[in-house]
Amino acid sequence: MDVNDKYALSFGAFAGTYAALRPDWPEGTAAWLAGADFDARPKHILDLGAGTGKLTRTLFELGHSVVAADPSADMLDELRRQLPTVETRVGPAEQIPGTDHEFDVITVAQAWHWFDPEAATAECARVLKSNGLLSVAWHRRDEKVPWLRELAEVVGRMESVSKGPRAERLTVSRPFGPVEESVFDYNLITTPEGLRGLADTWSYVRLAEDREAKLDAVIALGRRAAQPDGRLVIPHQTFCYRTLLTDRI
User: Per-residue pLDDT tens for 108-135?
Assistant: 999 998 899 999 999 999 999 999 999 9
Average pLDDT for residues 187-214, to the nearest whole number? 88
Give dist(CA 19, CA 100) in Å, integer: 31
Give dist(CA 245, CA 243) in Å, integer: 7
pLDDT digits (tens, 9 = 90+) for 71-119: 999 999 999 999 999 999 999 999 999 999 999 999 999 999 889 999 9
- Whole domain around residue 90: which residue ranges? 3-141+165-188+236-244
In a domain, 19, yes or no: yes
Residue 19 reports pLDDT greater than 90:
no
In a domain, 94, yes or no: yes
pLDDT of residue 203: 76
In a domain, 149, yes or no: no
Strand-pairing partners, residue 107, are 47, 135
Give dist(CA 36, CA 173) in Å, integer: 23
pTM as predicted: 0.85
Q: What percent of the chain has pLDDT over 70?
A: 86
In a domain, 29, yes or no: yes
Q: How many structural domains does the chain have?
A: 1
Residue 111: name the closest of 124, 102, 99 by CA: 124
H helices of the chain, in order, are: 3-9, 15-21, 27-33, 54-61, 73-82, 117-127, 146-155, 192-199, 203-206, 211-225
In a domain, 212, yes or no: no
The answer to whether 45 touches 104, Cβ cutoff 8 Å, is: yes
Residue 55 reports pLDDT greater than 50:
yes
**Three-state DSSP class for residue 249:** coil
**Three-state DSSP class for residue 90:** strand
Residue 1 reports pLDDT greater than 60:
no
pLDDT of residue 15: 59
Residue 24 reports pLDDT greater than 70:
yes
In a domain, 196, yes or no: no
In a domain, 229, yes or no: no
Residue 5 reports pLDDT greater than 50:
no
pLDDT digits (tens, 9 = 90+) for 131-165: 999 999 999 999 999 999 999 998 876 543 433 34
Residue 133, domain CATH: 3.40.50.150
pLDDT of residue 7: 42
**Three-state DSSP class for residue 192:** helix
Average pLDDT for residues 227-237, to the nearest whole number? 95
In a domain, 199, yes or no: no
